[in-house]
Chain A
Amino acid sequence: MNKIQKWLENEIAFQFSGSSHINSWVGDRHLKHYSENRLLGIANASAWEFTPDFVAVFVFEGSKQIAFMNFTKDTLGLTELGELHVYAKIAEPTLAVQATASGLSKDLYSLLLNQGIQDRLLGYSLDRKILVGHWDESKSAIPQDSFFPPRDI
């Protein structure tokens, strides 16, 4: 299993304590192609014509949930984040993560420190926000303290 996939599964288990049947894969075609198998039971999946880099499904509190993760080796910019925002708005996944191996661009940092912009850019449904994190290759993980906005409060 890809180490990013493994991290995503661990993160789901960590964030959604008690979740089960966690199953992830590398995005290789539009999600609608999985609507009859892996995404069976998830509403509207047959209309999803986009491909996140990583996808996971899991069962939490008795219902099937979906998680997306996009990954970039390069410095993360507004355009890439906008793309995941659109995916997340369409599918309203339980978890949406944008990882970058090179950190955020200066401009994006500056924008995300503005609360209003952060809410609009990361928020994709009433109570859900995209998590942005810095992938640490040496740890094969996104350290908790690298999430943006900082999670220590």
Chain B
Amino acid sequence: MAFNSAEQEFVVTSDVKGMDAQQKAYLIGLICGKGFIYRNTQQVAIEFAHNNEYIEGIAHCGKCGYLATKSSSGDLKCKNQKCKSTVPAQSKTRYEQQLSTRESVKNVIAPYITKGTKVRTSVTGNKSITLLVIDFRFETELFTWVEKQFPSAQDYSGFRIPDWIWMLDYQASLEFFNGALDSTGYANAGSWAPRDGQNGTGRMRLYLQVVRNWGIVSDFDSFIRERLKKPVQTVDWGHPNIRDSKLQDYRASSQTSWAREHQIKFFPEYFDDCRFRIAHKQSLFNELLEHNKACLFSDDSGWFPPKIIRESQRKAKHPGEADHRLPKQVRRHFDAFWQINLALGSRSLEELALSAKSSEVFALTGDTELNMDPHLLSSKLEKKWLALANEIPATRAVSQNSNPTRKNTRDALEKETYAPLVDLLAAELRDEYEVEPYVFDTSSGNLNSFISRLEDSQLEHLDFCATFNIRPDVVGFVPGLREAFFIESKIELLNLKHLGQLIGYCAVATPMRALLVSTEPVSDSLTRTILSKPSVLDFSPGRSIEIGRFVDGRIEYCEFPS
């Protein structure tokens, strides 16, 4: 996105009254980080995470002032090799997060974004999140403007930085970034890079943490470098070659440990004109900043342009490279994080690639001067990646739970019903619709996460379910029908609680059919309740839950006279 002139900026920012450009930029930053847009209620919600009640600051050695970190014995040890003193754990400042977040959202963030508008806010939450709900029902023009910034998605997992943001002046750009910092930025004393300065060691970092959304990570990285002119140190992608490059987790039975959040990391000393509006985050940011300044680290211009990938930096081929959870553009091997940025369309990298003697060779090596047959290079590298994987020791035994609990046993027995139920539902749908259906065991996670991992050819039939964060055991779809079919399976007497669970799922997704099934009969109590009030099974007009028993490999449907 090219930087546009101030004249264009005026045109863009003056079309909606109420908020000034900096307020709007801040709001868009919040939304990009952790926002949800509810188009039918004209509301926007922003989630602020605080998983732990407290977060700790930096421990410094009382004798030499160096960073102290936890040693293998559990004590804090000074990192200065000449000192190595034990440092008391109390030397760290503790920052309370939950109340601080709630108060900052209520007293600082909400007043800032509502200033000069009729927008209303409410703040709610639980011990791990604070939720700011922004109600635009009295500012419909403003809501329409917000909606237009995010035309193709309704929550942060699919947002990209809107075009408007790339046109802003520096101060408004900074406010956009401040918004992203508040909703998805973290100051964390544990996230230091092993660097030595003139007066200390351990270079502290801030980071933006992004869940699932690959595109916006690339956007944030570009925005920081190109619009704020600040260095990004690195991007930790949730990709198998980056997060588990030596297959340690994979071989130790945690095969998908790589499938986690992405982090864009940067040094606070280049961001001292940015601010968190959440009080404890700002305090911790100041602490990290002071540490880095005192250590006198050498200048760091960030990762761009990338360095040439050395042979020792090549990574082992990871079976997860083909995982469907990865977007197609990055469902392959990478040796350096920036190659992922390039695959996702980083403009600065694409320009660099175009200026290279061979853009394909550059993509594989980071070398702009090297010119050779890219196919030959590719096949050579493929062999190298395989050889590296083969050098890694064979799989360790997966630990077995020697003392299964009753719940584990029950869960295991229930799981055994899923595969045959998948087959039965598939057969029913095939018979009824005369087309090959998609039927899945979705019990292991939320339906929306499951769907996001499917192939595009499947996704086009199921995208209408892509926002349903519910977890029925078995879900079926019929191509072209845009309807879902649910099965919730149990291995005990069916009761009202089981019905309530499936009613909840159905209220969310309104499937065409929903079956509550058990290997055991329906409890007498549930039978009597349904007989006395058949409408208890209804979940939307004309649609009701069906009850069945899964016995001898088939489903016996229960009949209840209405």
Contacts and interface: CB of A to CB of B under 8 A. Distances in A.
Contacts, number: 122
Interface stretch (B81-89, B311-319, B431-439, B503-511): B503-511
B111 interface: no
Contacts of B539: 120
Taking chain B's interface residues, is the majority helix, strand, or loop, or is none over half, making it mixed?
A: mixed
Contacts of A152: 120, 122
B504 A121 contact: yes
Contact of B504 (A79, A113, A114): A79
B139 to A, nearest CB: 13
A30 B502 CA distance: 22
A79 B500 contact: yes
Given A85-B507, A86-B499, A115-B40, A47 B124 contact: no
B501 to A, nearest CB: 5
Interface string B483-505: 00000000000001101111111
Contacts of B72: none
A75 B124 CA distance: 13
B126 A83 contact: no
Contacts of A153: 120, 135, 137
Contacts of B155: 110
A113 B508 contact: no
A116 interface: yes
Contacts of A50: 496, 529
A132 to B, nearest CB: 10
B124 A134 contact: yes
B533 A114 contact: no
A103 B124 contact: yes
Taking chain A's interface residues, is the majority helix, strand, or loop, or is none over half, making it mixed?
A: helix
B133 A75 contact: no
Interface stretch (A9-17, A21-29, A56-64, A142-150): A142-150
B536 A86 contact: yes
Given A47-B529, A89-B536, A117-B508, A79 B38 contact: no
A18 to B, nearest CB: 30
Contact of A44 (B40, B126, B129, B532): B532
Contacts of A148: 124
A71 interface: no
B133 A47 contact: no
Given A83-B497, A102-B127, A107-B469, A117 B41 contact: no
Contact of B133 (A48, A113, A114, A115): A113
A153 B525 CA distance: 41
A116 B40 contact: yes
B117 interface: no
A109 to B, nearest CB: 6
A90 interface: yes
B540 interface: yes
A102 B126 contact: yes
A106 B499 contact: no
B307 interface: no
A134 B536 CA distance: 27
Given A47-B532, A86-B496, A106-B128, 11 more contacts: A47-B533, A82-B503, A82-B504, A103-B126, A103-B127, A107-B470, A114-B41, A115-B40, A120-B508, A121-B504, A146-B124
7 contacts: A75-B128, A83-B501, A85-B503, A87-B500, A103-B129, A109-B47, A148-B124
Interface of A: 30, 44, 47-50, 75, 78-79, 81-87, 89-90, 100, 102-107, 109-111, 113-117, 120-121, 134, 145-146, 148, 150, 152-153
List the 8 closest A-B pairs by CB distance, nearest first.
A103-B126, A82-B504, A83-B500, A82-B500, A120-B507, A150-B122, A47-B532, A121-B507
